[in-house]
Chain A
């Protein structure tokens, strides 16, 4: 069809925008041209993607801001117990730098895990008693215990994990994926971010908007922040006094006037504008519908725990994450702050675990129950681990803490083509440094991309003359974690 005929077709359509005639014809017409790949549900993205068959189609990233203590939660090392109260052996410290709170790590005293560990499931994974619910689903999880990163402070480390660079300004994982793979919903944002923090925490970590930023990608790839109070999406509600039918009427009028304008100046941008306003109207329905939990069964709600019906909590956000991905959202980033236990291992760490353990496990189980886990990748990670040695006075138990530790930490994944009941990599006997199968942040990113059918070296974007990618010039896929 030549462009003139196409133009005529669109004119015919827009002449009847309010009645919605010619919808099917248009969808067919445009669907073919917009959708070069074989995925009938997919909207947008790059035609050459995926590079190969994807195991995961969408991602829920449960980001635990602050650096959860791998030593107390997942990385069971009897030797730490034995070394409790003794100085860190020098050979473990080497020339490694720590935050200015620790300074020189030499002569710092080792601190045993606060709670006991036990083995769980048929996989026999060691998990601390801090996490009773996670313990129950270990056979669905794929642990990486040999994570390590380059950054020792929160914002740079989170930025590094999410965007591949410590300094803000690069696209985050969610932005890359929606840029490359598009989305599967036309009436919800492709990339959603939600944040929460435990009540009464002393945590001072901030949710910077560059954690879900588009970097140098066009700003439409930015994660849309769903809010914990008020409208879930900014400016979603019509002004007071403007009823939905009235709004509909005026939007039809705007479309008519815009169509007249299009007839007179023929700028295709005007057609974009018309579609943009139509989508805005749809979002006004679809977002509240998505956020309305009244259709969830009591059983489901109970599974996520007592806070699930309270907007702004991690539990609530986990359930919303499920509702978002089942409606076709590509990437959901659920962030929970407060894991920064410099002096609160015996206090706030309990709250932190209580608020996140059950919902995280419930989300995995819920997705599994709905058959979505198979092609939904769930990631649970912080930005680094915590020192196996103590921060604070070993005789002052209520103020025990651990400092930032980039040299080893643990994360887990579930679904999305990862092995279940599996653990990859090892730290040394003090959980201090990686001893076996190291997995650098860039390796992890390359692996996630791979699960989504993307060759991390080929998904690039030219900015300032250079082809940038999430993994910079690094990244080795960890094939061992892939099922």
Chain B
């Protein structure tokens, strides 16, 4: 079998595809070289040539400038130009030179001028070499609107049309006629909401004969909440928004409240200058609201690298660079990333200026260590329901607190009475602190303090055993008491030096020892001990299973502990009851062993004392040593702390207070569980102490050069001088009247959304390598209009979509158009291009009736082939497809795992770095997706179900219904013929193989309607699936 056997079988398809693609992308420039009589514009015609051929060595980059010649500035250029005499100009001589040493650009540079480029330069020189500064850096001045002869066939609906048509007519072209109403409403509804119009919306529009029918539709769409969802998509691509960190670990983050804020901001038509300020510096606005702080999540959408071994500062610098460059691309249309390592080769941005911009963002306290998806600063953003729940709990908590306070006052009135009662209780003063003879530990040093407590010090070992020899001060000993006492040398003044201040006492043993003097010496002797049997134990507090009784069970795995959910902050005591009271002889003593042998390392009691009582029922309440001594003192001698302690213990002993406290802790727990579900959004903040910023040589975090201070590039208008140069000042500068780039860059991106290509094709680059717009005056007017309107986004959108340029038919009126203007740069026809993949999906869901239009909330995991996450992450990330409504939410809410993005979106930004350019390619894989993905098969069934539920159905009419839902029009007779034939083929096959029908209908989470005939439903499903895959369906036209 020849391995190449399939080589030619279907070669034509690929060849055809490539031929068509290459035809489409052929670089047929609109701005062809000017005729000899034509005026040569420096900006339009000459600068692009110089930039491309010369600026690398004779441009803004100081370090690589050759021969000290600068061609991006007028003075430099004049040194090689003889105005009005091209042939006498050095620049021309060099470009035409045959001498390899003289020729420019140098032969080995791979930059060879074309003849027409040299001609253009010559003509420009001959025409006077009129110099212009780079257009996009020049002040933005609103140009006059051209006045056109009346009586033209094409309507001038607003100034956009005046600009376009005045230029079109002069080049002999004519705009197309207005698109038919069905095409138009589908186009504008998809563009403004990302969804197709409903059948009723189409019918209403077709039937509306009033002159402003279309404007009414636009106004309705601009008010729909789907508008914000549609507009958010491109902004999310630019903001590199995703639901995980990216990189190893790829931890899940909760930035979605920021995403929902973007949708709300578009819907509320937040003016674009505010939209800018909030996202870049909302945290620094005076009295910043939660929404304003939330908006700064924009800056924090960058990836976070949690790979082991990464150097935190290297990460941090990466993040700040990402923030800086994203701002540069989104607002300035400048490719700042070039300047990480060197001065810009083409634009007037120096390396130092890059780091001056970097300095604005360098003041955040964001840390580069680890992969925490909630790296500070963060902001808790409750939703409405959570907010009201918390308010409800807070109100209840206030009420209960009031009751507790009231009860406390009652108790205070009875305080003395209570103290007296307690003092008079028989067993209260039974305790006497023992006299310690010796205190030793296996590992630590034990010291008997002046106040008769024993303090452990030295290195805190994993486990330890204390041995205390003591002489009781009571005549008989029926009970022995251990007080674990707070001490400043313990963790947070707790009971031990473990992190928690907690201890685990695994065994408490008492031995009765007879001390016999050795016959040989005076001082040394031998002892023999008898274990004293302990029958019961009580403690002031027991932590869960860590009961005091476990100190008696002989099991070193179990023990007594006192953790109450916080670092231990009070003393605790335990009493151990002997089987029989004992009386010690003069040469007898007690030896107590305290064992700390649990698996909880370092949980060793830090300070303690031992007391004895002859009362075998000695009370436990009074075990607390501080309490005991306070109670014993006469009231006037008590310290403030002692008085407070007595009051507190009184309250704690009160049943009514206990019950109120229980209610309170229940409320607090409920509140806590609500708070735990509130998403934390990473936001911006400023360090208290400013961080110095340095130029980083070659962009390396560990190779700092000279120090720089925050500022904006010198080639643009300066920062306002009335405030300090911080992030807020930078954001204000971006949207200030004199800073010309923001308005230019932003209107161009909105234009791209609707026309598929910007007026400036290089949406990401407004520098000298970027395109100079063919419709420069239109672009200037639109930008100025946007700025002067108060940055009114909806007005800008309204302006664009109500122009004739937008409303005209997208039909190719004659075959020359495909070759003369394949990309529709002249705008002599309406936009026609394949929709974004997310829109294709949303359209199918909407047409099928499956779409769930819930706004906002956490991201959802819809249909995805099995194993995609697992294969990329070795099973560390398991994909859990959701069910029910989550499967039918708009694409905007799809969970975006950054290391392996959703499989359902092709040609989309990867959301790893800022992306503003829209890409459209065609690959077979995309067709496989819309033909075979569950969403589309299920949507086709949904569509079929709607059709078949129509009473008194007729096949040909039903096809119209399918078309109306998907394409906003009915089918032509020939289309119907094709589809009817297909339908009968399917019916035939399914009738023969009914199991196939059942299999097809079983696809998707929703159940197929059982009222409908299986064969019929399956057959119509195949028809609807075909309709969902038509070029017209995939295309906005």
Contacts and interface: CB of A to CB of B under 8 A. Distances in A.
A238 B862 CA distance: 20
Interface stretch (A216-224, A358-366, A417-425): A216-224
Contacts of B974: 260
B881 interface: no
Interface string B579-622: 00000000000000000000000000000000000000000000
Interface string B1016-1037: 0010001001100111101101
Contact of A207 (B7, B11, B872, B1018): B872
A239 B925 contact: no
Contacts of B834: 269
Contacts of A403: 309
A156 B305 CA distance: 10
A466 interface: yes
Interface stretch (A79-87, A114-122, A245-253, A348-356): A245-253
B207 interface: no
B925 A327 contact: no
Given A250-B1026, A269-B834, A457-B110, A153 B307 contact: yes
A23 B12 contact: yes
Contact of A219 (B305, B866, B921): B921
A12 interface: no
A239 B19 contact: no
Contacts of A220: 921-923
B17 A276 contact: yes
A250 B925 contact: no
B718 interface: no
B248 interface: yes
A414 to B, nearest CB: 20
Contact of A266 (B818, B899, B910, B1025): B818
Contacts of B1022: 242, 246, 250
A282 B982 CA distance: 20
A241 B1001 contact: yes
Counting chain B residues whose Cβ lies within 8 A of the other chain, the interface size class is 35 or more
A457 B858 CA distance: 47
Given A266-B818, A465-B346, A153 B922 contact: no
A483 interface: no
B641 interface: no
Contacts of B305: 155
B815 A466 contact: no
A240 B1000 contact: yes
Contacts of A189: 925
Nearest to A227: B871
A278 B10 contact: yes
B544 interface: no
B526 interface: no
Contact of B12 (A30, A234, A269): A30
A154 interface: yes
B923 A276 contact: yes
Interface in A313-339: 323, 326-328, 337
A245 B982 CA distance: 12
B919 to A, nearest CB: 6
Contacts of A262: 1031
A462 B768 CA distance: 13
B151 interface: no
Nearest to A33: B19
A30 B762 contact: no
Given A234-B903, A269-B834, A279 B811 contact: no
Q: Most chain-A Cβ atoms within 10 A of its Cβ — which of B307, B810, B924, B1001?
A: B924
Contacts of A260: 972, 974-975
Given A154-B307, A249-B985, A328 B4 contact: yes
Q: How big is chain A's contact interface, by range?
A: 35 or more
B832 interface: yes
Interface in B942-987: 972, 974-975, 978-979, 981-982, 985-986
A204 B899 CA distance: 14
Residue of B11, B24, B985 contacting most chain A CB atoms (<10 Å): B11
B901 interface: yes
Contacts of A23: 12
A56 to B, nearest CB: 18
Interface stretch (B226-234, B403-411, B556-564, B931-939): B931-939
Contact of A273 (B770, B989, B1031): B1031
B906 interface: yes
A155 B765 contact: no
B924 A276 contact: yes
B309 A273 contact: no
Interface in A60-101: 97, 99-101
B815 A286 contact: no
26 contacts: A3-B818, A26-B15, A26-B16, A27-B12, A97-B702, A100-B308, A153-B307, A169-B912, A195-B872, A201-B874, A206-B872, A206-B876, A208-B872, A208-B899, A208-B900, A209-B872, A209-B901, A213-B910, A235-B865, A235-B929, A258-B1030, A269-B20, A269-B1031, A279-B13, A462-B769, A465-B770
Interface of A: 3-4, 7, 23, 26-27, 30-31, 33-35, 41, 43-44, 97, 99-101, 152-155, 167-169, 182, 184-187, 189, 195, 197, 201, 203-210, 213, 218-220, 224, 227-231, 233-243, 245-247, 249-250, 253-254, 256-258, 260-262, 264-280, 282-284, 286, 289, 295, 312, 323, 326-328, 337, 403-404, 457-458, 460, 462, 464-466
